[in-house]
Amino acid sequence: MMICLHHLVLFCGGLLAVCKPTCQQLEVPPVVLGDFESLPGGRGNIAEFGKALRLPSSWADKNIVQYYQDGEMFYHRFLFGNSSHVLSFPFKFNEPMTLQIHDKTIEYSYILEPTSDPYKAAIFSRYEERDGMMRFTVESVFSRAGMVTTYTHADVLDSIMARRTYRRIIPKAALGYYENVGNQESRNFRDFAAPLPVPQDASYGPNNKVYFGQSARHFVLKYLFDPESYSYIFPFVVGEKQQKLVNGSNMEYIIDVEKGPFPNITLIRAQFRYPEGGLSWVVEFTVLSGKSANATFKRDEILATRHFRRALPLHFYGTFVGTPEEEANFNEFNSVFQDSSIALAQAPTKIRFYRNGVTFHHEITNMFGMAETANIPFQLDAYVERDIVGKTFKVHYYYDGGQEPKLNIAFEHVGGDLSFTANYTFFRNGIVANYQRKSADANKLPIIATRFYRRQLPLLILGRYVSETNTDAFKTLANGIFFPELTTKTTIEYLALPNGTYIQKLSYGSGVNTTIREVSFVLGEKQEQLVNGQWMMEYIYSAWEGERTFLESVFTEKKDGTAVPSFGESSRIDDFTADGYTSVYTLGNLTAKRKYRRHV
């Protein structure tokens, strides 16, 4: 590509960069652009290198490095741990640059070292303090999986070398849920998808969703079918070949991540292949952070497209009740809003997230301890103006994905000084809410408060249900998890206790030997139960209520039991309606359905 720059002055956060007039012709391989997260360990003394350059102490623990392009300029950016400190070097390859950092002037340059392999390249950069003694270099060697960076520092007294490995990551703003917009897919998509694998009783229908997530080591690509209780989950390390058993056949896949032509665009390319069957296809997602994802599907020479808009993650939906015993400083934060005649303990706050069509709703009952319910309809990354507890607020919602997805809400008090922020971190068992507002005393620090809201079982689930006809697949699965009584007529009842605990009761016909009659659970919390006095079962129940209401449960055998069955782990997703629910049971590669009708 041709890069031509005649004059450029950048000023941001006290940093001044001046580029001399120049033109250059340079082809920059995509592998050198992206977001990279440091891994533990490394060689040399990374902490001493940070001290020598007067970097934040969090540099030694974890930092994120970004190489990206914005227009004709490239940027090398450092983000340090949980601090707000950011160091950014704008540059053009093979050009001398200067950067003013406080009272120091740094002269630097970047050199690109491409190779014949499109997935391998290096960038070498040199920095020198003008009229000073500090010099250091950074050499980054790139691959599909990440980069290895060597830092070298030298001054008149000492020299320091450190080497660090970084993994390539998906930016948090790009992680999250995206839902298909049915009227914006290419006309040939259904024909294109016909030979692709799909769970039994599911389809590549208009209500498909895709989820990009993150765990401690892996990223996750999850494709949710129609209905969304069916899904394929593909854990991956960027650039590494993975294997997964899908519909009884071994599948290979590899997922690459690249930076797009602008800083807020991420390319996620997934390649799938059945080694034995010969079927292979590629999906490339062009993700506009916080907004949408365009998907291009390719099989042989056939192309098809879909458009996905960003949506709230499924586990954001539900009803959550504030727990005064699990809060910090909330009374002080709340004092400027609360009706003094109402005690918080007498009016517990309830939060509910739900959707109506394409509109999300944030409903708050007894907000700030006042006898009022606020309902805020909203779209992501957009402002909405609402009257709340007698005051007008402009409210803005956006969320970051990642290992712990957060919904960030800014309440801007129109014409007043009661603006505040609420940041919700969602877990299986509830929400940890962090609040912040300015103090009435301008000389004091902002007031920060924390509160926990416990997730409630959706009311639609409570009640009694009776099983309908079994399939052969269900009989096989029930025997596989050592619960043969499930193959008989089964009555299941869900009950709520006042302390936030729920009960699932199971009953059968007369004369049936029973393994389990009752399971006690708290949503989102792992629990254990001794089965038949012989082996220990570990389980966890999760619930969410988006367009549909689901209850998910996962059961795992404990290896320290005295008579351990060999089923390992099984799961169940229940899809509820007013008439009953459909259960999808999974054991290894075996899937089976069973229907339950509501018993009045």
Which pLDDT score is estimated for 333? 83
Which pLDDT score is estimated for 2? 37
Q: The domain 463-598: what is its CATH number?
A: 2.40.128.20
177-311: CATH topology: Lipocalin (2.40.128)
What the block records as the tokens of 36 is 């990279």
Query: Do 2-169 and 177-311 share a fold?
Result: yes
E strands present in 219-264 = 219-224, 231-236, 242-246, 249-259
Which pLDDT score is estimated for 17? 43
CATH architecture of 323-455: Beta Barrel (2.40)
What the block records as the tokens of 572 is 């169940």
Which pLDDT score is estimated for 1? 35
Cα–Cα dist 292/127, whole Å: 38
CATH architecture of 2-169: Beta Barrel (2.40)
Q: What is the CA radius of gyration of the chain?
A: 28
Which pLDDT score is estimated for 560? 62
What the block records as the tokens of 418 is 């009661």
Amino acid in position 322: G
Which pLDDT score is estimated for 528? 92
Which pLDDT score is estimated for 575? 93
Which pLDDT score is estimated for 4? 41
Question: Where are the chain's structural domains?
Answer: 2-169, 177-311, 323-455, 463-598
Element of type H or E holding 94 = none
Give backbone dihedrals phi and psi of 580, rounded to 5 degrees, phi first.
Answer: 155, -150
Give the residues of the chain that fall short of pLDDT 70: 1-25, 42-44, 52, 58, 60, 82-83, 155-158, 338-347, 368-371, 559-566
Which pLDDT score is estimated for 28? 92
Cα–Cα dist 594/229, whole Å: 13
Which pLDDT score is estimated for 73? 93
Which pLDDT score is estimated for 418? 87
What's the pTM?
0.82
Percentage of the chain surpassing pLDDT 90? 54
